[in-house]
Amino acid sequence: MKKSKIFASREKLAGILFALPMLLYAGVFLIAPVVLSLFFSFTKWNMRSTPAWVGIDNYVNLLTDSVKYPYFWHSLKVTLTYSLLAVPMTIISGLVLALIINSIRKEKLEGFFKVAFYLPVITSSVAVAAIWKWVYDPMYGLLNTFLEAIGLKGFNWLGDSKIALFAVAILAAWGCGGTMLIYLAGLKGIPDQLYESAKIDGASSFRQFFGITLPMLKPTTFFLVVTTTIGSFQVFDIVYVLYGAGGGSYGGPDNSLLTFTMYIYNHAFRYEQMGVACAMSFILFIIILILTIVQFKFLPQRYD
């Protein structure tokens, strides 16, 4: 009996020791910064002087003072518009690629395409933005060269405020490799018997897709919509490289690419208003939380 207790205590101690590095990491680099930023969101702080307590003034001014913070609501609108463009494009392109790869019967060929389409996901976002900045170049870019070759007029993709946001959203669809893999896993989990029964009943491929594939992928689609929406509201690195790096405008033409996270960055590191930036980050957290709750409430999560 004593030996079993000793073994149990040793196993418990071993488990704690194995988990300790991750617990320390979470405490120091995740939990502590969140708690500190919550505190700083109620202060006036420029990261050099002592924080001065101002209560909820940062939150009230952000929401109501359009003179001090003229782009607060504008940046939210830009972020929401980007999300409405990027999320459907990412979901649809990922599903289409998954369907194409799932139809390939040769295992090696399927593996090649999975790796090829997943590469943009593991590629540095800085490198991706730099490549697309060249692709979108109005004079020497690959896209305009192609359009002119087929007799169409090119565009100033990143310099025209009317189409710049759409052009950046295309990058999200291009990096849909993660969405593709998750959809592919969902497709592999659909029983073949369902398709066989549908074929016996004379259902066309079109009816099989809308009657079997899409309904069976509802849990997968729900998960992807939620996670992709959260990611789209935090877009920063692509916009920063395309417009901010090297002394750019940080918000694109006419601030049409001034996303909420870019606005947070501006206040934190350009205007030296870290307290305001912390308040904005928690406003963003609340917005994402509300959107996630709404999605859990209204989006279908189970099979019919």
**Residue 118 included in any domain:** yes
Structural domain including 51 reads 2-59
Verify that 54 and 131 share a domain, yes or no: no
**Residue 29 included in any domain:** yes
- Looking at residue 82, what is its pLDDT? 95
Verify that 170 and 40 share a domain, yes or no: no
- Looking at residue 245, what is its pLDDT? 56
**Residue 166 included in any domain:** yes
- Looking at residue 4, what is its pLDDT? 60
Verify that 50 and 186 share a domain, yes or no: no
Most confident of 23-27, 190-194, 285-289: 285-289
Phi, psi of 158 (to 5 degrees): -95, -10
CA 243, CA 237: separation in Å to the nearest integer?
10
Verify that 27 and 159 share a domain, yes or no: no
Verify that 19 and 155 share a domain, yes or no: no
Q: Which of 59, 83, 108 is the last residue of a domain?
A: 59
CA 90, CA 83: separation in Å to the nearest integer?
10
Residue 203 confidence (pLDDT) above 60:
yes
- Looking at residue 2, what is its pLDDT? 54
Residue range 272-289: average pLDDT? 94
Verify that 162 and 244 share a domain, yes or no: yes
Verify that 262 and 161 share a domain, yes or no: yes
CATH number of the domain at 71, please.
1.10.3720.10
Extended beta strands in the chain, E state: 43-44, 52-53
- Looking at residue 99, what is its pLDDT? 92
Q: 229-263, pLDDT tens digit by residue? A: 999 999 888 888 888 654 456 778 888 889 999 99
**Residue 304 included in any domain:** no
Verify that 234 and 191 share a domain, yes or no: yes
Verify that 37 and 166 share a domain, yes or no: no
Verify that 14 and 155 share a domain, yes or no: no
**Residue 271 included in any domain:** yes
Verify that 186 and 39 share a domain, yes or no: no
Instruction: Return the CA Rg of the chain.
Output: 24
CA 216, CA 207: separation in Å to the nearest integer?
13
For 190-198, which contacts have Cβ atoms below 8 Å and span 24 or more sequence positions? Answer: 190/216, 190/217
Residue 96 confidence (pLDDT) above 70:
yes
Averaged confidence pLDDT in the chain? 88
**Residue 21 included in any domain:** yes
**Residue 163 included in any domain:** yes
Local confidence band at 195 (pLDDT 50, 70, 90 cut-offs): confident
Q: 119-136, pLDDT tens digit by residue? A: 888 888 888 888 888 899
CA 90, CA 228: separation in Å to the nearest integer?
8
**Residue 303 included in any domain:** no
Verify that 106 and 42 share a domain, yes or no: no
Local confidence band at 227 (pLDDT 50, 70, 90 cut-offs): very high
- Looking at residue 304, what is its pLDDT? 58
Strand partners, 52: 44
What proportion of the chain, given as a percentage, has pLDDT over 70?
94
Residue 9 confidence (pLDDT) above 80:
no
Q: 133-173, pLDDT tens digit by residue? A: 889 988 888 899 999 889 888 889 988 889 999 999 998 88
- Looking at residue 8, what is its pLDDT? 61
Domains: count for the chain: 2
> What is the number of helices (H) and of strands (E) in the chain?
16, 2
Q: Which of 34, 59, 84 is the last residue of a domain?
A: 59
